[in-house]
A and B are shown apart, each in its own frame.
Chain A
């Protein structure tokens, strides 16, 4: 009896040992299964189609071209591979501008015929209409071929506009670049400070000073990101607006500063631990040869602990890269490719946090956010693995 009991408990303990692996596996499965659905979605909104005049040689437009046409950035068919012919954009919502209520019928019974006549009359038209109204007897229009969203459009696309009609834009580029951009600046800010504090605490300060600093740094590591974001919003953002004369203070710079402060505790603790692990015999050997304390630090202690310091930096990058709330609150969240650090920008985590609540479940927008989650997951996985690699190499 006792033996059976012991066996059962051991079994449970063994199972729980693999819990984290299972969780990671589940994360991959669930994120992928939701996210990859995006690639089977059509570029054009479900249930709608694009109709052109039969004489128009254009057979197909990609998502970007559709957006440009409907934004009237592109105004001639020549630019998208057709004949020289001005483009006339028609949306289903415009029906009432062209036709009276009687012509359409009280329940849109005649909509198909109306659209047909409109397409026939205008050789340069492109009409965005429900599928049910595009066709029927004597249909003289031509439906543009629709295609599914491609990986190239998503990962290479430089426009993120998931609620655009007729074709939503799912380009990840601005988000990826935005994330990289703030992370790089955050680390550039944090690194000199973080290393200075680490060296100061590990090598220069008195034991008493260290005893004061250590709990303060630990405390700062524990403060929730939303509190940092709040501080950034209330203090850093207006300050930057004044100092740099920005139209809005919410910017990549504000995000980078807040992220830098948040990454500091990680960088400080990990690199300080690494430096303190440098054996006393190494320091003594250097000092005994007449090296000054500073020479000993940069010629012996730092090279000795370089892998720990690198891990610290990479962990800081990981922390900054995945940070959500603080960035969401201070970066302004403009989904454009940032040209300057004082521009507003939007990161991957902030996009997910800001948009998932509004995206209808199962739709392309929802799926694209999960796909962003997949991207984020793999980037942080790479970052973590490189930390593992660096620290294992040292042993």
Chain B
């Protein structure tokens, strides 16, 4: 059974038809990469999975998205519970202006956990999980802004992991990072995929080939092709995909 299922998803920003009849199913512990030119709708689609687009006024969604068999746009769904289960890492590192420790603890605290020992345990576990523990264990009380950009992004990943989500959405998580930090983040994705279902939006096709099991190519609001990453990059079945990836590689 698939972890995430999107059926006939249409999405409008006002009168702009941003996503057109998208169907997709993602299995548990899979890493799926969304690629496509800017404005193709890949980020919009990603933000539907944790209902982040709810924040934008004057939008409309048709079709259905289910996670673990539950329609996440059903009225009985608590958006904050959904977002706890579906973590998100953003394009630019966006730590809070708090200490490293408090950044990771934030999600636990807002979800009503008061047990400090448990929080401390989870903070350490998440920072270890994000391969950041050794670098920051002596300065947990320091401001998160004292970290480098790459460390900040891994902190944001740790922060997302701390609330024990089962899905992680990553919106171009390495686009603002230098190559070394990018490599670290990619390595991290490899390590954590056993625990999470990961969807990653990326502009960088090498990155897609390096980290993902499956790749979805979006173009002008449509899902053109969705297949194993290997197949997409070696033998795409659609001409648009071929054009896009060769254009970029060439």
Contacts and interface: CB of A to CB of B under 8 A. Distances in A.
B221 interface: no
Given A281-B90, A281-B94, A300-B96, A289 B84 contact: yes
Nearest to A306: B97
Nearest to A303: B97
B96 A287 contact: no
B87 A289 contact: yes
Interface string A296-324: 00011001100000000000000000000
Contact of A292 (B50, B55, B110, B156): B110
Main secondary structure of the interface of A (DSSP, over half): helix
Contact of A289 (B57, B92, B106): B106
A288 B110 contact: no
A284 B107 contact: no
B110 A286 contact: yes
A290 B80 CA distance: 4
B87 A288 contact: yes
B160 A284 contact: no
A299 B107 CA distance: 11
B92 A290 contact: no
Interface string B74-105: 00000011011001101010111110000000
A277 interface: no
Nearest to A283: B55
A285 B110 contact: no
B146 interface: no
A287 B83 contact: yes
A288 B169 CA distance: 10
B52 interface: yes
Interface in B147-165: 156, 159-160, 163
Interface string B31-72: 000000000000000000010100101000000000000000
B2 interface: no
Contacts of A16: none
Given A290-B80, A292-B110, A284 B94 contact: yes
Given A207-B57, A281-B90, A284-B90, A289 B159 contact: yes
A260 B98 CA distance: 33
B111 interface: yes
Contacts of A289: 83-84, 87, 106-107, 110-111, 159-160, 163
Contact of B52 (A282, A288, A300): A288
Interface residues of A, number: 20
Nearest to B108: A289
A299 B106 contact: yes
A81 B110 CA distance: 70
Contacts of A284: 52, 55, 88, 90, 94
Nearest to A290: B84
B111 to A, nearest CB: 5
A117 B43 CA distance: 105
A291 interface: yes
B28 to A, nearest CB: 21
A1 B96 CA distance: 60
A285 B83 contact: no
A300 B103 CA distance: 11
Contact of A291 (B92, B95, B110, B156): B110
A93 B81 CA distance: 88
Nearest to B91: A281
A40 interface: no
User: Would you list the 10 A-B pairs with minimal beta carbon distance, nearest first?
Assistant: A290-B84, A289-B107, A291-B110, A281-B94, A288-B88, A290-B80, A290-B83, A285-B94, A295-B110, A290-B111
Interface of B: 50, 52, 55, 57, 80-81, 83-84, 87-88, 90, 92, 94-98, 106-107, 109-111, 156, 159-160, 163
Given A284-B94, A289-B111, A303-B96, 19 more contacts: A206-B57, A282-B96, A285-B95, A285-B159, A287-B55, A287-B80, A288-B52, A288-B87, A289-B84, A289-B106, A289-B159, A290-B80, A290-B83, A290-B111, A291-B106, A292-B110, A295-B110, A299-B106, A304-B96
23 contacts: A207-B57, A279-B94, A281-B94, A284-B94, A285-B90, A285-B95, A285-B96, A285-B156, A285-B159, A288-B88, A288-B90, A288-B160, A289-B87, A289-B163, A290-B83, A290-B84, A290-B111, A292-B80, A299-B106, A299-B110, A300-B96, A303-B96, A304-B96
